[in-house]
Structure formats: structure tokens, C-alpha cells
Chains A and B, each alone.
Chain A
Amino acid sequence: MSDLKKHIVSGFDRDLEGIQAQIMKMGGLVEAAIRDGARSLETRDEELAQQVRTGDTAIDQLEELINEEAARVIALRAPTASDLRVVLSVLRMSANLERMGDLAKNMAKRTGVLVQLQPIEGSAASLRRVAREVELMLKDALDAYIQRDAELARDVIERDRDVDQMYNTVFREFLTFMLEDPRNITACMHLHFIAKNLERMGDHVTSIAEQVVFLVTGAYPDEDRPKADMTSTDTRYSPQSAEED
């Protein structure tokens, strides 16, 4: 995984490789949860949504395992320099992935409600696009981790802006649907929470990508993260403004 030589104490290498393998496994499970969560929403597949909900337990267990392993490595191996950065980044990444798992689970919970409601035209496709972008960002962030590729990680950080912009768009879309017909409100509120969950996942992926930059360079990227979620500060995202359009 690293271009550094092996440790003299080979058990140290095994420990570090072990926790990194766990984090990759966890990342894979979260990727699948996002993909299946979005698909279950699009195809109104309650069974798949149920799988996503129960699958979160495995993600939580992995987080616990990784935290225990990381604590053990710190206590027994006293890691320094790049070894220390591996352990620190793994700890933070596992927290990010665990939160992403929760958000995917929440998405699947809402899918369970949504399948019982009148579908909102076009909403599933919009959310699928956001979900696909987040999933791809996560895949690239994990690849960047494996390959110790700070450039790819920086690219992922940049792409969070796209997710934010997609979220802005669906936010306005749902607002319009709700204004058109109050009977859409329940479904649109759920859809909006799903969109917000995906937008939050993008932030967590960004944090993972920042860990990769830290791991490779020893410093966090200093420029402010691109922020394009305008819904909380811009009045264009209020009902009155949507009505005028």
C-alpha cells in the first residue's frame, strides 16, 4: 500500500495492513448501501430497502473493530510519522463511513414510507444522479487512499461542489412540487431529507479525501472547502421565491 519499506518488526506491517483492509471493507459496504439505497428508491423496491437498513449493522460493527484495532496499535506499537498518520486517518475515516452508513440507512427507511405514497415524477431520477455522484466520489476517495494519491483526493474535494449544486436543484424542484399540490408535501419532505442525506454524505466523502491528503502530505489541505449548498442562506430557496418562477 505504501512505497515505504517494510518494518523491521513484521507484525507492525500486519497490524497496519489489517486495519487498512478493514477500512476498505467498510468503504465497500457503504458504497453498496448508497447504491442499493438509491436503487430501492428508484425501483420502489421495499425488500432491497430493508436489506440496506439491516446491512448498517455490519458497518457499525466494522467501525467498532477498526477503533479497537487502532487503539491497540497506538498502545502497543507507538506509531510515528507516516505510521501515525495511517492510524489517525483510519480513525477519522471510520467515523465518516459510519455516519454515511447511518445516512444511507435513513434513506432506506424513508424509501419504506415513500413506496406507500403517490410517486413524484422525476424525483427518483434526480436523486439517483446525486447518489451516483456521491458513490463515485467515495470510490475515488478510497482509491486515492489505497494509491496514496493526493491529486485524486483533491479532485474529490472539488467535486463536492457539484453535489451541493445538484442538491440546490432538487431542493427547488421539491419546493415547486409542494407549492403545486399540498398533497405532495409528505412525499416531498421525505424526498428532501433523502437529498439532504446525500448532500451530507458528500461532505463526509470530502472529509475522507482530506484524510488522504493528510496521510500523503502530512498536512491538511489549507484552502476552504468549496461550499455550494445555498439553501440555508439564499432567499431564492424560499417558497415565495419559487412561486415567482
Chain B
Amino acid sequence: MYDADQNRTERKVGQKDIKITARDVQVYYGTNHAIKDVSVEIEDKTVTAFIGPSGCGKSTFLRCLNRMNDTIDICRVEGNIAIDGEDIYDRRVDPVQLRAKVGMVFQKPNPFPKSIYDNVAYGPKIHGLAKNKSELDDIVERALRRGAIWDEVKDRLQAPGTGLSGGQQQRLCIARAVATEPEVLLMDEPCSALDPIATGQVEELIDELKQNYSVVIVTHSMQQAARVSQKTAFFHLGNLVEYDDTEKIFTNPQDSRTESYITGRIG
């Protein structure tokens, strides 16, 4: 890859540490018990897929991992979620700082109505990651390269981000998410609005991102989960039914509910 990236990270390769630990997590929306007793360990430098039918709680659980649920008034989260052993729901944790460390990409590409450059530069600017303009330029270039979109936009960085195609917008949003040097990247159905080619490009990108990040992806496409992830968690009615190697889940799942779901039977 490129030099700056190599300097940035000297993390060990091939060793799967636990990045996120969730213990007995409960989520309530008012009186609705949306997540029930979920405990899971998510590995570093691994793509973990959350699958399950609509309303099973997979997105809700994903949003617990960077406290996005804090923004919903009636939502209450119990239990313990730790990243690198640190409780992210601790009172001293600033959710804004947390979200810089735990980036998120959404279903629909949502670039800011600003230039391509500003879309990416926004996060590093507010978190004070660059001392001057030339450092910021480097950060933007690095992020756009990592988002696999640099070659397509390098000559029009001042053009509006919203003028890009859907697939390009989504890769721009991924570039924006990685610009703050997060350690975890959460993706909530990142390809559902994209065509197969753009989906392929994003999947290729996810595969590259796992060298540096712990990637957690929620997807309705079981084939996508099978293609991109190494670990798969199946959620059903707010419960984590089964969590195992993706290969195992798709060839020989242990729970009949998982089997019913992935083989396209009524669960």
C-alpha cells in the first residue's frame, strides 16, 4: 500500500484479538424489548456479518456499538459493551469521540451537500487531526484511496459529492468514515441501494478494510454475508441465535432457526 499507512499502524497481522465484547446486552424501545440477552465477542481485523429477518434487532444491536441509539429518546441500553476492554457506556466516554473511533456507513449514501474534499475533510477537521492544510490534504487523499475512489475523483475534488453516482457516493461515505482513522467500521446494509458492479467494488473494499479494521456489516443479502464475512451472527426476534464461522453457518448451522432462515424457509 502506501507509506503513510504503514507508518500509522504497526499492528500484528494474523492474530485475531477480540475487539468488541458485549455482555448480556438488553435494548428497550419504551416497553418493547428489542434485544434480549445478547453476548458476543467480535474479532479484530475480521468482517463480522449480522443477518436475520427484518425487525430481528440486528441494526439495533449494531447501533449500540457506537451509541447511535443514544439519539433515540425512548431507547434504553443495558448490559456491558466494551471496545478493547473499555466500557463504551461509561459516563466518562464522549459519544462524539467514540463515533470517531467507531465509524459508520449507512444504507443510503448520505454525502454532505458539500464538495468531495469537504465531505472527507469534515471529520478530521472537527477532531483536530490535521495541523495544517497540507496535512489535511494528505488525510483526504489517503481516505479516498482507502475508499477505492481516489482515481475517479482526484481531478474534481471541489465538485459536489452529491453529483457522484450511487456507488461512488457510497465509497465516498466509506472514505469519509475511515478519514478519522476509526478502529471499528459499522456498516448498515451498505450495498442495498447499489447495483451489482458498485456492490462488487464495495465488497472488494470491505475485504481490504479488514486488514486494518474490525468491520461489522448488517446485510439482508445472505450471499453478501457469505461473500464478505468471516464470522456470521444470526439474530431472530431480538435473540442472537447462532454465532460462528461464516463457512459453518452456511454449510452446517447448528440451530434449526438459522437453517430455516438461510435456506429461505419460513422461520
Interface residues of A (CB under 8 A from B): 4-9, 12, 78-85, 218-219
Count of interface residues, chain B, beta-carbon cutoff 8 Å = 15
Q: Mark B243-267, 1 if CB is under 8 A from A, else 0.
A: 0000000111100100110111110
Whether the Cβ atoms of B265 and A80 lie closer than 8 Å is no
Chain B residue, CB-CB nearest to A86: B263
Q: Contacts A218-B251, A219-B252 given: A82-B266 contact, CB under 8 Å?
A: no
By a CB distance below 8 angstroms, the chain B residues around A7 are: 263-265
Q: Which residues of A contact B132 (CB under 8 A)?
A: none
The answer to whether residues A8 and B250 also contact, given A78-B223, A81-B259 and a CB cut-off of 8 A, is no
| B223 x A82 contact (CB < 8 A) | no
Tell me the nearest residue of chain B to A9, going by C-beta: B264
Which residues of chain A have C-beta atoms less than 8 A from B251's C-beta?
Answer: 80-81, 84-85, 218
Q: Is the CB of A5 within 8 A of B266?
A: yes
Q: A12 touches which one: B259, B262, B264 (CB < 8 A)? A: B264
- The answer, among A80, A218, A219, for a CB contact under 8 Å with B263, is A80
Closest A residue to B258 using CB positions = A81
- Is the beta-carbon distance between A4 and B266 smaller than 8 angstroms? no
Tell whether, in the assembled complex, residue A80 and residue B250 are in contact, meaning their CB atoms are under 8 Å apart. Answer: yes
Q: A5-B260, A12-B264, A84-B250 are in contact. List 15 more A-B contacts (CB 8 A).
A: A4-B259, A4-B260, A4-B263, A4-B265, A6-B266, A7-B263, A78-B223, A80-B250, A80-B262, A80-B263, A81-B250, A81-B253, A81-B262, A82-B259, A85-B252
> What number of residue pairs across chains A and B have CB atoms under 8 A from each other?
43
B binding-site residues for A, Cβ under 8 Å: 222-223, 226, 250-253, 256, 259-260, 262-266
- For A85, the chain B residues whose CB sits under 8 A away are 251-252
Is the pair B264, A8 in contact by a Cβ cutoff of 8 Å? yes
Bound-state Cα–Cα, A9 to B260, Å: 13
CA separation between A80 and B232, bound complex, in Å? Answer: 14
At the interface, is chain A mostly helix, strand, loop or mixed? loop
Which residue of chain A has the shortest Cβ distance to B267 in the bound complex? A5
The reply to whether B265 and A8 contact each other, CB–CB distance below 8 Å, is yes
Q: Which residue of A lies closest to B253 (CB)?
A: A81
- Cβ-closest chain A residue relative to B259: A81
B262 — nearest CB in chain A belongs to which residue? Answer: A80
Q: How far is the CA of A245 from the CA of B264 in the complex (A)?
A: 65
Task: Say which residue of B253, B259, B266 sits within 8 Å of A8 (CB atoms).
Answer: B266
- 13 interchain pairs, CB-CB under 8 A: A4-B259, A4-B265, A6-B265, A7-B263, A9-B264, A12-B264, A81-B251, A81-B253, A81-B262, A84-B250, A85-B251, A85-B252, A218-B252
Closest 7 CB pairs of A and B: A218-B252, A5-B265, A83-B263, A80-B250, A80-B262, A7-B264, A81-B259
Closest residue to A78 on the B side, CB-wise?
B223
Cα-based distance from A101 to B262 in the complex (angstroms):
36
Report Cα–Cα, A9/B266, bound state, in Å: 10
State the CA gap A190–B98 with chains docked (Å): 80
Tell me the smallest distance from the CB of B112 to a CB of chain A, in Å. Answer: 37
Q: Which residue of A lies closest to B250 (CB)?
A: A80
How many angstroms between the C-alpha atoms of A6 and B251 in the bound complex? 18
A82 touches B263 (CB 8 A): yes
B266-A80 in contact (CB<8A): no
**Bound Cα distance from A219 to B252, whole angstroms:** 9
